[in-house]
Amino acid sequence: MNNKQLASALPETDRTRHRRLREQGSLDRAQLDAILETGFICHFGVVIDGIPMVVPTVYGNDGRYLYFHGSVASRSLVASPKAAVCVTVTHVDGLVLARSVFEHGVNYRSAMIYGVPRLVTDAEEKLAGLRCLTEHATPGQWDYARQPNRKELAATALLALSLEEASVKIRTGGPDDGDGPDAALGIWAGVLPLTATWGEPDADPLLPDGIEPPHHILARSNTRAG
Amino acid sequence: MNNKQLASALPETDRTRHRRLREQGSLDRAQLDAILETGFICHFGVVIDGIPMVVPTVYGNDGRYLYFHGSVASRSLVASPKAAVCVTVTHVDGLVLARSVFEHGVNYRSAMIYGVPRLVTDAEEKLAGLRCLTEHATPGQWDYARQPNRKELAATALLALSLEEASVKIRTGGPDDGDGPDAALGIWAGVLPLTATWGEPDADPLLPDGIEPPHHILARSNTRAG
């Protein structure tokens, strides 16, 4: 991806364009992979009848493609194989509390992937994509739970979106007004961190006694999720 | 839906009608307010040159409008006063682990707001909107930190999006296959909860000794954020 693509991929927020690109924009593949690996929910943007629609949905990631699934009757999935989409994955790490309101901000890691997704029709590829999606969101469950049967597979649409056109924006660290005139105001400044954590497994009330959560679920409890 | 519920219901339009998963869809105003009140980051979807763009950004909410701010040079903000947007706020509450892969899912609360935002140009309204936005994300900071000066106000664009056309989707509770044939498989099923929590304030390294975090920041630590 060249600079022209970078410029067209990054949204503009505060500050000047050059400063933004230097400080927050990145095309580092390792950063993209880390953001995608950490999350499992994206915001899937698609245009339907000229109107944008932004839908939170689960994704899988095999390093070449993002995978999305849904009912074959889904409006957003049915529309998207014909149209460009923008898929955004965001982790919010904290509030940046500056001396001035103007310098307030958010620490975050965000990836945006652009492209025209492909409806996966090959049976083997579809099964592999669904496995990837399940294992990405809930590692260990594909082999532990009952895998989809023919009827369930037929009711499920799977989309693949190439990771070729992607960009990353990251903000880390404290506020930017610590060495300016506002530093003399005596106002506290810093970051209020935000962390997502997995809790303890909460068993289905309908579960019979004696069925314990498997290790791959228990091991996730009390670990950081974002 | 009975008459009592209709009184607090959001108007149903073609876009906000829940065609699928009706049990998850809602037009209840109180649920919308609760979702918007809890969060401070949305995914702002806008169409630029026919391509959807989904940008994570901070929002404010005064019960009538959502507010968004950015640089006056921002492409997504400049484009959007002329164009329809979809703004989505999502809280992820946990993974739903079913007996079958097909019934796996996510517990979440999500609001989608559709409309054409308005660029706020009136000075008084702009200041009130920026105050709303700041106080929504970081309560207490508008009066504590230095408020924007004329130059900073001129560099900031503020958009207002009416809450008139909005819909809510919520999933709660355990998996749906506890009373079907898969219940006999002996597979553990339930929910792995996910919680976002505010941490301890992390002071800017450039902060002089003796400036302590204000009460409104300290009080937020170790509370739930989502």
ipTM of the shown complex: 0.90
Of B44, B51, B198, the CB nearest to A192: B198
pLDDT class for B10, splitting at 50, 70, 90?
low
Q: Which of A9-18, A92-101, B71-80 has the lowest mean pLDDT?
A: A9-18
**A72: Cβ–Cβ under 8 A, 6 or more apart, which residues?**
A78, A154, A155, A156, A157
Segment (H or E) for B57 = strand B51-58
Question: What values do phi and psi take at B3, rounded to 5?
Answer: -65, -35
Could you say which residues from 65 to 124 on chain A have a Cβ atom under 8 Å away from some Cβ of chain B? 71, 73-75, 84-88, 90, 92, 94-95, 97-102, 104, 106, 108, 110, 112, 114
Q: In this structure, what token pair is assigned to residue B104?
A: 């796996």
At A71 the pLDDT is: 79
Residue of A nearest to B226 (CA): A196
The pLDDT tens digits of the residues spanning A49-72 come to: 889 999 999 999 999 999 999 877
Contact (CB<8Å) A192/B201: yes
Contact (CB<8Å) B70/A12: yes
Q: How far apart are the C-alpha atoms of A117 and B26, rounded to whole Å?
A: 29
| pLDDT over threshold 60, residue B141 | yes
The pLDDT tens digits of the residues spanning A117-176 come to: 999 999 999 999 999 999 999 999 999 999 999 999 999 999 999 999 999 999 999 999
| C-beta atoms surrounding A29 within 10 Å | 13
At A24 the pLDDT is: 65
At A80 the pLDDT is: 65
Residues of B in contact with A182 (CB under 8 A): 146
Enumerate the domain spans of chain B: 3-194
Q: How far is A149 from chain B (nearest CA, A)?
A: 9
| pLDDT over threshold 80, residue B120 | yes
Where helices occur in chain B by DSSP H, the ranges are 3-7, 29-38, 75-79, 123-137, 141-144, 150-155, 215-218
- What pTM, to 2 d.p., does this model score? 0.90
Are the C-beta atoms of residues A168 and A111 closer than 8 Å to each other? yes
Residues of A in contact with B94 (CB under 8 A): 199, 202
| pLDDT over threshold 60, residue B124 | yes
- State the DSSP code for A91: E
Residues of A in contact with B73 (CB under 8 A): 12, 16-17
Average predicted confidence (pLDDT) for chain B: 88
Average pLDDT over residues B204-221: 95
Residue of B nearest to A144 (CA): B187
Contact (CB<8Å) A220/B100: no
Contact (CB<8Å) B51/A84: yes
B93-B99-B102 Cα angle (round to 5): 75
The pLDDT tens digits of the residues spanning B60-87 come to: 999 999 999 987 767 666 666 678 999 9
Average predicted confidence (pLDDT) for chain A: 87
At B28 the pLDDT is: 83
| C-beta atoms surrounding B31 within 10 Å | 18
| pLDDT over threshold 60, residue A5 | no
Cβ of B41 under 8 Å from any chain A Cβ? Answer: yes
Which site among B18, B41, B138, B204 would you substitute to test the A interface, given the most A Cβ atoms closer than 10 Å to its Cβ?
A: B204
Single out the residue of B1, B194, B80, B127 nearest to residue A202, CA to CA: B194
Q: How far apart are the C-alpha atoms of A80 and B42, rounded to whole Å?
A: 22
Residue of A nearest to B181 (CA): A146
The CATH number corresponding to B3-194 among 2.30.110.10, 3.40.1410.10, 2.60.40.10, 2.102.10.10 equals: 2.30.110.10
Could you say which residues from 140 to 199 on chain A have a Cβ atom under 8 Å away from some Cβ of chain B? 141-142, 144-149, 152, 156, 174-175, 178-179, 182-183, 185-199
Average pLDDT over residues A191-203: 97
Look up residue B21 and give its amino acid.
L
